Amino acid sequence: MNTKPVFFIMGPQGSGKGTQAKILAEKLGLFHWDMGAVLREEHDFTLSDGSTVGGIIDKGIYLTDAQLIEVLKKRLGSIPPGQGIVFDGLPRRIGQADFILQYLGSLGFADFTTLVVDVSREESVKRLMLRAEKEKRVDDTPEAIALRLKQAEELTGPLIEFMKTRTRIVTVDGNPPISEVTREIDEALAKL
């Protein structure tokens, strides 16, 4: 049994989940898995259906479960053995959650916590437009942002319900400044 913790950080784009995932991973000495960065690194990877990762994500569309699992199978071996993990941006759907929990279970992991960083749609859009100006990311057009937020809203409720059956759930308010959200996370995790 691997006693190292595994955290799944969830929330809409622009919720600050990436920032909080990095802070948490650093603080606890865990491996930080940034699904968005992995997908951008695999931009040119050709999937079994002939499409490329970049051809999908550049339109602001989520990969299907089968497509994402192909990328996971290619990359999961890069997680250092014996280290706990903070997953940022994974899972986004129940099929992905089921796959990753089974995979981690096969490695002996059993300590799972899902951390939901909750922000309003308006705050998400505001933060994403700011990020688009700063980082000039191809996938941060107003149309792609609207599409991703719509997809996330449709998928999040059922996914959180599923995660409640397999992991501990902690929800924090992602609207305040970063340091306040971090403090809220620390306090919530201390009560587990």
pLDDT tens readout for residues 150-166? 877 787 889 999 999 99
21, 30 contact by CB (below 8 A)? no
Residue 182: band (very low, low, confident or very high) from pLDDT cuts 50, 70, 90: very high
pTM: 0.88
Domains of the chain by range and CATH? 2-190 (3.40.50.300)
77-94 confidence digits (pLDDT tens) = 989 888 999 999 999 899
- Write out the two tokens for 137: 């990311």
Q: Is the pLDDT of residue 139 over 70?
A: no
